[in-house]
Amino acid sequence: MQEEVKQAIIVRTDIEMGKGKLAAQVAHASLMSYFEAERADKAIAKEWLDNGEKKIVLKVASEDSLVKLYNAFKFKKVPCALVSDAGLTELPPGTKTALGIGPWRASEIDQFTSALKLL
């Protein structure tokens, strides 16, 4: 049996974002991370697309937590993308809002995300 492929999106809860802004940041993280995964392994990216695009949205309470997770995934060579806001609406420019991980092997994503709570 083949290992499950999924995508994880992690969002900061310590900054105030309207629902639309939050949705946009999650979408940015998903797309940016997908393109990273496609560059890393086209077969994994295609499998994810062909099997329903499973994703999970989780939360962290600080920029520090978000950046630490990003660095951990980069170190493990798991495709990921850190979203920094352009600052055109609700947030100052450069605010790190979300992290997209994968699509990638679930076991490699879960290694660092299993303790996080759903958004």
The pLDDT tens digits of the residues spanning 30-86 come to 999 999 999 999 999 999 999 999 999 999 999 999 999 999 999 999 999 999 999
Q: Which domain holds residue 102?
A: 5-118
For the cut 60, the answer to whether the pLDDT of residue 19 exceeds it is yes
* Res. 2 pLDDT band, cuts 50 70 90: confident
Burial of 94 (0-12, 13-18, 19+ CB in 10 A): exposed
How many domains are contained in the chain? 1
Note the pLDDT of residue 87.
Answer: 87
CATH code: domain of residue 114: 3.40.1490.10
